[in-house]
Chain A
Amino acid sequence: MTALSSEAAPPPGRTFLSKVADLRAWLFLVILVIFFETWAQTVYGVTFVGNTYNLQSIGIFATAPLLLALGQTFVIISAGIDLSVGFTMGLAAVVSAHMANLGASHLGLPPFLSMLLGIVSGVAVAFVPGLVNGWLIARLRVPPFIGTLGMYGIARGAAYLIAGGMTVPVSNAWFAWIGNGRIAGVPILVIIAAVVVLIMHYMLSQTRFGQHTYAFGASRVAAVRSGINVGKLTMRIYLLAAVCAGLAGALYSGRFAAGAAQAGEPLLLSSIAAVVIGGASLFGGSGNIAGTVAGALVIAVIEYGLVFINVEPFWQFIAVGVVIIISVLVDQSQRKLLGGRVDE
């Protein structure tokens, strides 16, 4: 029997390089923080990162785009894209505001239960676009870009219709507390985001669902031949993205004391950018939650930091664009050098 020799082992050093490449979003983050800290110290004689207030502000700022990006991470790893999450968030924001109001006015619920009703309704209504996206993509084999673009329009229309062309004010102390309160100095929004991050990390790295999402993104054929029910998998992926958007929408209503149909629209591109900066490839098969968290923080730190150090606002767009391009270039050169990525 001829030995298939141990040259099978990949070149040494690969692990170190790929680990560095996987952590590049965190590396960006550290560089950015050093940059802003130096600038703030030099020009204003104040600290940027040593200031709890700044950390809280950035945390709150990053929450909504991060929630969208977490669901989007699964979608992008599966080689898809979900363009509808922004308006799914808006739809959820409007519905949760309406339902929280309704709970108090028509059902006579106490504020805490009205808030719960609002949040649950917001998340629940997000099931509709999520399932429809999944159905279009999985069963009718509509390309994700087209299917979710259609849903983008539908969710938007529905959100505006339900809102009646206005924002929907909601007056509920508990809801406002969820959106604006703090526990031991940590904004509740940040606590919620952290819990969702842990759940998403678990789902992606430790469950069959996560593992199959990676496999499906790399090779649909491999997934099908391995007996994975790719239709069901696709439904679940888009449902998850929508549920994350639904939660973001409900929290928006609490925070701003009003649901707005256009609440999530400006966040769509940020959420995709966060996933890409975090190391995912739009061709599918790679990405991870820790990277996405770093990606969302990179964007938030750039946008907050540039205002903090009083730089001309237009630099924000340029800076985010540059980071995205660097990120993609790093990814491509890594693929060339190393021929692939590890599975978590």
Chain B
Amino acid sequence: MIQRRSFLGLMGAATAAAGTGSLVLPAAAENKKHTIALVPGLTTDAFYITMHRGADAAAEALGQDLLFQGASEWNVTLQVPVLDAVIARKPDAILIAPTDKVQLVEPLKKANDAGITVVCVDTFIGNGVFQTGAGDADFPISYVASDNVLGGVMAARALAQSIGEKGKVYVSNVKPGVSTTDQREEGFKQEMANHPDIEVLETQFNDDDANKAAAQVQAVIGRVPDLAGVFGANLFSASGTANGVKQAGKQGEVKIAAFDAPQSVVQELKDGTFEIVIAQHPAEIGYFGVVAAYAHLTGNPVPTHIGTGFTVMTKDNIDDPNVSKYLYTG
């Protein structure tokens, strides 16, 4: 009766890693074509473009229709109208990267009330713990994302190693209140607590402005000339910090761990701009998001949290195809 396809092995492995039991995929024999919509945080970012590719691959393999609709900017007031328009088209499921934990609850509840299955990808609403019967934001069936705390931990480990397990570091972050970057910072600090000779200084928030991130690292170096490393919690934080380090004449002395991996990081790892790059696996997020929605629509249980992995990139491994395949592509 149940016809397993080749990708299900991968699926099982992923769900096992998330510790939530098995995800059983139903027969394609049912042959009903569902419409699944993916609403990204923003449409213009390589991360979400790569996620879209992964979602497309899953939809195609499962014979489902995929819609991709979003705003060009990370902004609640732009995302909600797009979401409303998507709901009006009555898809069977919506995969969404909510741009705010709180403000997207009501708009998504409308979808849920209309019988549309909701899956959160990359970011979440409420506290990200779903199907508990508690609170008013537990209705999404699953949260599929990189484990950002783990990402922060991995960045901390790699950075600690490259600075020789001692010295002062800080986190260059976008702004407080963004679930993913907050979690990366949390994981980074959590792991650094295990490295007694490393001191974590005050976090600097740059509003996603590379110019400001650069000035901040220059100011920190002005006060703390022996700064050893910086964790850039997103791409602009990292590239701005890298430029500030260069302007301060400290390239190579202050090591930078960057988060996210567009194609340009290859060059930046090779020329020493970045010491470490933590790549998420956005294609996996899109892929598993579609699979989870499909499983639920066909009456199968779905884990409430699916965590996808990371790849640590350095100049030594970036030419390895098993590593470079995780670069984001537009």
Contact = CB atoms under 8 A, between A and B. Distances in A.
A310 interface: yes
B46 interface: yes
B210 A160 contact: no
Interface string A165-188: 111010100000000100000010
Interface residues of A, number: 44
Contact of B46 (A57, A65, A165, A266): A165
Contacts, number: 108
A60 B72 contact: no
A103 B223 CA distance: 41
A266 B222 contact: no
Given A304-B218, A307-B204, A308-B223, 7 more contacts: A51-B222, A56-B247, A260-B210, A262-B236, A309-B223, A313-B203, A313-B205
Given A160-B72, A310-B202, A166 B262 contact: yes
Interface SS majority for chain A? helix
Interface in A153-173: 156-157, 160, 164-167, 169, 171
Contact of A44 (B209, B220, B223): B223
A189 to B, nearest CB: 9
Given A44-B223, A303-B215, A165 B44 contact: yes
Interface stretch (B8-16, B104-112, B133-141, B238-246): B238-246
Contacts of B218: 53, 57, 60-61, 304
A57 B247 contact: yes
8 contacts: A53-B218, A60-B214, A61-B214, A160-B44, A258-B264, A262-B208, A307-B223, A308-B222
A305 B211 CA distance: 15
Interface string A290-325: 000000000010011101111011100000000000
A57 B209 contact: no
A215 interface: no
B49 A165 contact: yes
Interface in A133-162: 156-157, 160
Nearest to B215: A61
Contacts of A303: 212, 215-216
Does more than half of chain B's interface fall in helix, strand or loop, or is it mixed?
helix
B38 to A, nearest CB: 15
A255 interface: yes
Contacts of A267: 209, 211
Given A57-B247, A164-B330, A166-B264, A256 B215 contact: no
Contact of B246 (A44, A165, A171, A180): A180
A255 B243 contact: yes
B219 A57 contact: yes
A53 B46 contact: no
A64 B211 contact: yes
A314 B176 CA distance: 10
B219 to A, nearest CB: 4
A305 B212 CA distance: 12
A261 interface: yes
Interface residues of B, number: 40
Contacts of B207: 266
A61 B211 contact: yes
B73 interface: yes
Contacts of A69: none
B182 interface: no
B20 interface: no
B223 A310 contact: yes
A92 interface: no
Nearest to A62: B215
A338 to B, nearest CB: 37
B186 interface: no
Given A255-B243, A309-B223, A169 B203 contact: no
Question: What are the nearest 6 A-B pairs in CB distance?
Answer: A266-B209, A61-B215, A307-B219, A57-B218, A169-B264, A160-B44
Interface string B233-270: 00110011001101110000000000000111001000
B199 interface: no
A49 to B, nearest CB: 12
B165 interface: no
A60 B330 contact: no
